[in-house]
Structure 1
């Protein structure tokens, strides 16, 4: 039996482009504990009637209409980058982002910061942050 090679959470990095030419991508320490990417699609459904047996239940046909990627991240609050994240949230600009899965490759596309949260459970608890990035256009996969 061949064991599945493990990919640990530290190998998943959300890397944000600096907008320069050539663009470089760096991981921001604000996302330091949880990170994930979710792919969803909008669909249209049609009922495909059975012409030979019109009384039988018909099967649904699904057509994908729109694709979207959502990156989520969280961690202990990294105060040094708060201003940058706040500016991104307040604007309508997308930034190029890579969701890196070392050693396999990365997804890349333009993303907008749609959710930004700073919280703490109490006076002595560490403050945390949570972010949500939503794709603005196509997302591509690049194998390494």
Structure 2
């Protein structure tokens, strides 16, 4: 059995654009967990069996829409606050990049515009202040695999 190629946590990046014409993406500091999710919504149609109307019908599904979300949790890092505040304050979505870097140097990169849906901070006596961020896609998310030379 061949062992699969996997990605370490430190090679899973969530980066926000600086909004410049030639974007620079930076990963805000502080996440200790993060996730990237893509999903579809469907229209469903019950399609009967014309030869046997008493037979159970089958559901056929057509894609109506696609969506993505990014979320993360961790410690509240002073250096990350201005980036998150700018993204949250904007009524426009911001460009984001999610990248998985493999040990051989190959990468899977997803790019799209996202709105910051929520930015929650919490604190418990005797512990560090934490942050939880949720983002929702605004339009198409593109995918590209780059290979190391």
The match for 1:26 is 26
The match for 1:84 is 83
Is 1:36 equivalent to 2:39 in the alignment? no
| 1:1-144 aligned within 5 A | 1-30=1-30, 32-103=31-102, 104-120=107-123, 122-144=124-146
TM-score between the two structures when normalised by the length of structure 2: 0.89
Equivalent pairs counted in the alignment come to 142
Offset, 1:6:
2.1
Aligned counterparts of 1:106 and 1:36: Cα–Cα separation in 2: 14
Aligned counterparts of 1:38 and 1:105: Cα–Cα separation in 2: 14
Offset, 1:108:
0.3
Structure 2 alignment gaps of length 5 or more: none
2:126 aligned counterpart, secondary structure: coil
Structure 1 alignment gaps of length 5 or more: none
Offset, 1:91:
2.7
Aligned counterparts of 2:17 and 2:82: Cα–Cα separation in 1: 16
Question: In angstroms, what is the RMSD of aligned CA positions?
Answer: 1.2
Offset, 1:89:
1.6
Aligned counterparts of 1:24 and 1:82: Cα–Cα separation in 2: 17
